[in-house]
Amino acid sequence: MPRFEVRTSDRVRGRDATMAREVRAGLARAPRSIPPKYFYDARGSSLFDAICDLPEYYLTRAEASLLDRYALEIVERTGATALIEIGSGMARKTGPLVEALFTRTASPRYVPFDIAPGPIEASGRALLARFPRLNVCGVIGDFGCDLPKLSAAAPASAGARLFAFLGSTIGNLDERAAPALLGDVARLLHERDRFLLGVDLVKDERVLHAAYNDAQGVTAAFNKNVLRVLSRELDADFDERAFEHLAFYDGERQRIEMHLVSQRRQVAALRAIDLCVELAPGERIMTELSRKFTQSTVERMLFLGGMLLEHWLVTDDGAFALCVAKKAG
């Protein structure tokens, strides 16, 4: 069995058509929006990696502390011999889970799943350097439509699988989309499989504001990077200098919203999709939302997605939680 392979979804090979359709739909409606997955070209992935090291951005450190503390317990409880990580990115926090897998099997399987090929290649090789007996099968795809590919990369017949969706990435999906995605994951779960979810919790608004408005401006650069992606991929002529980064907490909806705000009247042409977007001064384009949770809202979200919460592991300061869930029924 190969130690390292990468599989690319047919839909990713046809990503241009998907991007054209989704970007057109988002920019044509009011309020305007751009899907956040288009942040993540090579530069966007690098910027997000830098965000994770910022002093204001507590999420990565909080989740990493929980994984350092509980990874072995999670693997022992679930009996997992394979780890499937949805939205793996640079797999910064995956090490403790992989290390724990080696207590159950001599050659565990790791399946990183992400829309960007660069991070899969880099993280896979880094983990292999640390764990030479690890089998890595990367899958490049869109978790909105390519989740079924994961079962082929780590068949249920090979043993119990732990599906992981870390970084509170579930918070980027709204009240409809999040349970829908969880439902897609639940359909992949067999009786002995488990689902590990990282969730950022409701907290002091000042802490949240700082996390998405860092003093160095890295988050602002990350936000504006989506304009570079569209300019390159869709032959657009967005002027980054004509937009400002805006991120704020909506307490009623318990979520951060991230926007690009037009600083003047402007018209942007996306020639590849024959679209012109006229923006007024102060008009916003939403680029990301990041919902914050409580245990009860997580339980409800899991229930709507066909899962049941088994274990709730939270940081001492109540900032972040890991949830282990199983398929309902």
Instruction: Tell me whether residue 315 is in a domain.
Output: yes
Instruction: Tell me whether residue 276 is in a domain.
Output: no
Instruction: Tell me whether residue 181 is in a domain.
Output: yes
Q: Provide the 8-state DSSP code for 190.
A: -
Instruction: Tell me whether residue 46 is in a domain.
Output: no
Instruction: Tell me whether residue 64 is in a domain.
Output: yes
**Low-confidence residues in the chain, pLDDT < 70:** 1-2, 9-15
Residues 6+ apart with CB under 8 A from 243: 224, 227, 260, 261, 262, 263, 285
> Are residues 185 and 305 in contact, defined by beta-carbon separation less than 8 angstroms?
yes
Instruction: Tell me whether residue 110 is in a domain.
Output: yes
Question: What is the identity of the amino acid at 119?
Answer: P
Helical segments of the chain, H only: 10-13, 15-28, 42-51, 58-78, 95-101, 117-130, 149-153, 177-186, 205-211, 218-233, 295-304
| CATH code, domain with 321 | 3.40.50.150
Instruction: Tell me whether residue 59 is in a domain.
Output: yes
pLDDT at residue number 39: 94
pLDDT at residue number 91: 85
Phi-psi region of 235 (alpha: psi -120 to 50; beta: other; left: phi over 0): left
d(CA 111, CA 189): 15
pLDDT at residue number 236: 96
For 19, list phi and psi in degrees, rounded to 5. Answer: -60, -45
d(CA 242, CA 11): 33
* Nearest one of 57, 123, 133, 115 to 93, comparing CA atoms: 123
Whole domain around residue 168: which residue ranges?
Answer: 55-203+293-327
Helices (H) and strands (E) in the chain, counts: 11, 14
Instruction: Tell me whether residue 265 is in a domain.
Output: no
pLDDT at residue number 68: 97
pLDDT at residue number 5: 78
pLDDT at residue number 129: 92
Q: What are the structure tokens assigned to 61, written together?
A: 């450190």
Domain count, the chain: 1
pLDDT at residue number 12: 43
